[in-house]
Structures are given as C-alpha cells and as structure tokens.
A and B are shown apart, each in its own frame.
Chain A
Amino acid sequence: MTNKRKISTFIRYFFYGIVLVFFLWAFIQGHFSIIFEQTDEFLRLLRQHVLLVLVSSLLAVGIAIPAGILVTRPAFRKLEWPVLNLANLGQTIPSIAILALVMTYLGIGFNSAVFALFVFSILPVLRNTVAGLNSVDPALKDAAKGMGFTSSQILFKVEMPNAAYPIMAGIRTAMVMNVGSAALAYLVGGGGLGDFIFTGIVMQSQEYLISGAVPVTLLAICIDFLLRFIEKITVSKGLRRSAETAEAS
C-alpha cells in the first residue's frame, strides 16, 4: 500500500517536473510575451477565470452536499437513485452540448458560463457525498444513537466527520476539472483565460496559446495543492490511515 502511494506521489511530482521544464522552455522562447505586453488584460481574464471556477464550485458544493445528505436520510432514501441519475445525466452530456443548450436558453455572458460549469461539477461532489455518507459504519451510528445523540448530532459529529475524506476528494475533483472546463467559458461570452487560448487558435499564435494555456494549468495545480492542504486540516488524523489506503488503491 505504502509502495503504491509512493509511486503515485512520484508520478505526481514527475508530472509537475515536466510542466516546469516546459514552462522554462516556453519562457526562454518568449511564448509568454502576451502576459507582459497585455498585463492588465491578462489579470482581468485571470480574475474572471478564478471567479468562474469559485462561483460555480461554491454553488455546486452548496447544492450537492445538502442534496447528498438529504438522500441518505432514511425518510428520503427513495430519492437517492433518481437524484444520482439526474446528476449522472449532467455529466454524460458533452460539455460542448451543454454550452450550446445553455447559450440557447440563457443567452450569453458570465451567468450562462457559471451555470454550465455548475452542471458539470455537481456530480463528483454529490456522488462522493452520498458514497461517503453510505460508507460510514452503521455500528457507529447505532452506538451514537444508543448513547443519546440526536439525529443532527449523529449527522454532524459522526457521519460528516467520518465521510470527510471522500467528500473533500469530490470537491477537489470538481474544482480541478472546473479550471479546465472554465476555459470553454469564452465560447458563451463568459470570459476567462479561454479568451487567450481561442484567440491563439484562431490566429495560430503560439504566444496567445501559451499565455492562456499555461496559466490555466498552473491554476489547476495550485487549486489541487490548496485543497489537499485544506483536506489535511479538515480530515481527522484518526481517519488518515484508512484514507491513505483508499487513495493508493
């Protein structure tokens, strides 16, 4: 298990290494020139990109976690299947098709882009919340109930903390994915770094392409790091061993 974990960590850092080498090479070639020539524009797009990701992810987390909690309550069990399938549907429709649909019915602009991103990211969070809550040992809930925990105490002191690892992993997956998908926001007039990338495609300009694509990649890596850090402080140490085995396998 620890070997597997070492290998997966190694692969991750190896990947970071490649990105770094590429980054240096592109820098020396002057492919980042757009960032320096149009710094204000770059910062505006970057801010927009981050905002797209944050707003859509927060919305997704804000809806998916309560929904996940709801469908795992005994009284609402029957909803688990239809709700998960609905979320699955959101995932199976190709991104481009969702963008087309959103554009048709909501018009263009920031809000449309946020809505499309929100639809993409609901599923990973919802699925992991439901799976996490379902994986909490029933004996724990029984012990808690038998000791006089109220239903909400069982939820917040037993179920959520013990499901924290998969839930956090779901959020991380959704947000990292979202950084990439947000590059498509440009297509529905949502702005973001996709602006540079699509300009680069149209103009066949390496400078535009790289000045857009590399910051998107770095942003994804930063968010991944940040969320791994948040995971470390929010998930109890007592769960770490089982969490590590789960991650490596």
Chain B
Amino acid sequence: MIEFKNVTKTYDGKVNAVDDVSFTVPQGNIAVFLGPSGCGKTTLLRMVNRLVPITKGEIFIDGEQTNSLNEIQLRRNIGYVIQSNGLFPNMTIEDNVTVVPKLLGWDKEKMRNRFFELMELIGLKPDDFRKRYPHELSGGQQQRIGIARAMAADPPVMLMDEPFGALDPIIRSHLQKEFLQIQKEVQKTILFVSHDIDEAITMGDQVAIFKDGRLMQYDAPDDILANPANEFVSTFVGSDRAIKSLGLHTVADLVNQLKVTPVAADSRQISLKTDLRQILSIFFNEGYEELVVVDEEKKPMGSITIQDVQKYLHQTNQSA
C-alpha cells in the first residue's frame, strides 16, 4: 500500500510542480498517473524513491514513512523502470537483469535461477539472450528486459515512468497486455506514469489525473469515464469517453446484466471475453444485425444487437 499525504514539491522556490496531493494506492493495484506534459507526474513518481526530495508532506509505503528509511535500502526495494529503459550497454542481458540482486549480495546460483525465471515470465528465451548486449536487442525486447530488471529482487512496489512510451503503438499494446498478464501473477503495487488516456484505462485499477501539480480526480477508470469530476477531466478523457468505457467491459458483463435473445439466425460468433468496444466496431465494420454469443465450449448462448450494447452502456453509466 502506498499513501500520499499532502505531498508538495517546489523546485527552486518557484511554483509547485506537485501541489498538496493526497491519495492511497491499495496493495496489488496499478495506479496510473495521467495528465498533460509538465503536470508533475514524473516528479511525484520520483518522490516515492526519493530521487526527488519532498518539499512538504509525507509518503508511506506499507505504513512506513519513506523519509525515515535509508534511501539506498529504500531504492533497492522498489523496482524502477524508465522510458529510455536505461539498460547498461556495457553489461550482458543477464548482468543487467540481475544487477539489483547482485547489489543485495545474492549468491550466483540464486541469481542464475532468478534470471531464467524472469525471462520465462517476460516471454524471452533465457539462453538466447543471456550473453547478448542491449544494443543487439529490439526496442520492445529492451523494454521487456528493463521490466524484468525492475522485478529481479521481487520488490513489492514498482515505479514505471512511461515504460512503453518510446515504442510503436502495436508493440505498445502488445506489451501492455503482456504486462497485465504478468501483474496477475505477481500482484505488485505499481505506480505507472502515462500521458495516454487509452493506456491509463487499459492498465489502471485506479487513475490519478493531474493538472498543474494538483490532483483533479482519483478513481477507477470506468468511474472517471462515467463521472468526470470537472471540466478539465471531462475534456482530457475526451468526448468519446462513452465508447472508451466500453473497452472496460466484456460480452460476459453484458450477458450477465441483460437477457440475451435466443439465436434467430446464423451469424458471426463472438466469445464471452471480447470487449464491447471491439463488438461495436464489428457491428459497424462488418454490418451484422446481430452477433451470436458462444460460451467456452463454442455452444451458442444467444444473440445480441447494437441496441443491447447501447442499453448496457446506459445502465452501467447510471449505476456508476
């Protein structure tokens, strides 16, 4: 659990880069810091591992005030990933990944095992990469290694500053999904900086939206989309926020809430796991009247129409 209490940062006595920010990130959640350039996301993130000293206020990690801890020990217990990956070009991939365990004095055997484990986790063949150097890897592979390195000593907390920012959109969305899969297993408490609303919706259990260093809203993504706290948030998330919010729900959610009509005609089949934003685009692009929902065994359960999606959206937005 990470708790921000009235945190303020003033650089050189000028305006506040972070201004009296308070919120709590529960254990095992991803909180995305979102906002326009210069709103203080990086500053707030770097105050957690004390790369930036706090001007006023306190930050607690699992109840312990960060300022009361030794800063070197504190940092070794927090995973840190940056946009430009920061891999050490002079070290092999294995040395890069096990750099923090080495600082912590693990023995060779344990480090080797951990390296193999992490590489499996991020989906790269350990033996293919062990002896290679960062410049021999693609951008996406380097970023994965950067994430593996941050997780190496199994820190309970991770800080990620636009970790996928430098990648092209296709690889970015691939890595986002892959990372969520990993997070399901490892259950870290993660602070994740982004300036992309779509990324925030995909990645965040909570989203914190900032403007000029002040916290505008801190809520789950669908709450932010359904009920923006003010003008700024509503403009920032965009006028298509209703459609964006569909990306957070799946066919299974819809089927649970609405009765599906029995299958009338043969049509395109869709699985329960498909998100509703995709469903909408299937309706628009492929011109079906209705789609057939099938369960895990591919047995038809019923069919849905575009009106069902609309109805579902209305109901959830009212209840949120």
Contact = CB atoms under 8 A, between A and B. Distances in A.
A145 B51 CA distance: 8
Contacts of A139: 82, 84, 86
Contact of A238 (B74, B135, B150): B135
Contacts of A204: none
A163 to B, nearest CB: 10
A161 B73 CA distance: 24
B72 interface: yes
Interface string A147-189: 1111001000110011010000000000000000000000000
Interface string B152-190: 000000010000000000000000000000000000000
Counting chain B residues whose Cβ lies within 8 A of the other chain, the interface size class is 20 to 34
Contact of A162 (B76, B88, B100, B103): B88
B135 A242 contact: yes
A237 B132 CA distance: 9
Nearest to A146: B80
A237 B88 CA distance: 12
Interface residues of A, number: 24
Given A139-B84, A146-B51, A148-B75, A242 B89 contact: yes
Given A143-B86, A161-B90, A149 B133 contact: no
Nearest to A145: B51
A77 interface: no
B80 A239 contact: no
Given A142-B82, A237-B133, A241-B135, A147 B76 contact: yes
* Residue among B46, B73, B88, B133 with max Cβ neighbours from chain A (10 Å): B88
B90 A162 contact: yes
A140 interface: yes
A162 B49 contact: no
A9 interface: no
Contacts of B84: 137, 139
Contact of B89 (A144, A149, A162): A162
Nearest to A153: B103
Nearest to B133: A238
Nearest to A158: B88
B255 to A, nearest CB: 45
Interface in B46-103: 46, 49, 51, 72-77, 80, 82, 84, 86-92, 99-100, 103
B99 A239 contact: no
Contacts of B89: 140, 162, 236, 238-239, 242
Contacts of B99: 147
Contact of B90 (A147, A149, A239): A239
B134 interface: yes
Given A158-B88, A162-B89, A236-B90, A146 B72 contact: no
A156 to B, nearest CB: 12
Interface string A122-150: 00000000000000010110111111111
A148 B72 contact: yes
Contact of A236 (B73, B91, B149): B91
B103 A149 contact: yes
Given A143-B82, A147-B103, A148-B103, A238 B75 contact: no
Contacts of A241: 135
Interface string A215-249: 00000000000000000000011110110000000
B106 to A, nearest CB: 14
Given A147-B76, A162-B89, A238-B134, A142 B51 contact: yes
Q: Among A150, A157, A242, which residue has the most Cβ atoms of chain B within 10 A?
A: A157
- From A142, A143, A161, A164, residue with most partner B Cβ within 10 Å: A143
Interface in B212-244: none
Contact of B92 (A153, A161, A238): A238
A153 B100 CA distance: 12
Nearest to B45: A146
A144 B135 CA distance: 18
Given A145-B51, A238-B134, A238-B135, A150 B72 contact: yes
Interface string B241-285: 000000000000000000000000000000000000000000000
Interface of A: 137, 139-140, 142-150, 153, 157-158, 161-162, 164, 236-239, 241-242
10 contacts: A140-B86, A143-B86, A143-B88, A145-B51, A148-B77, A150-B72, A158-B88, A236-B91, A238-B88, A242-B135
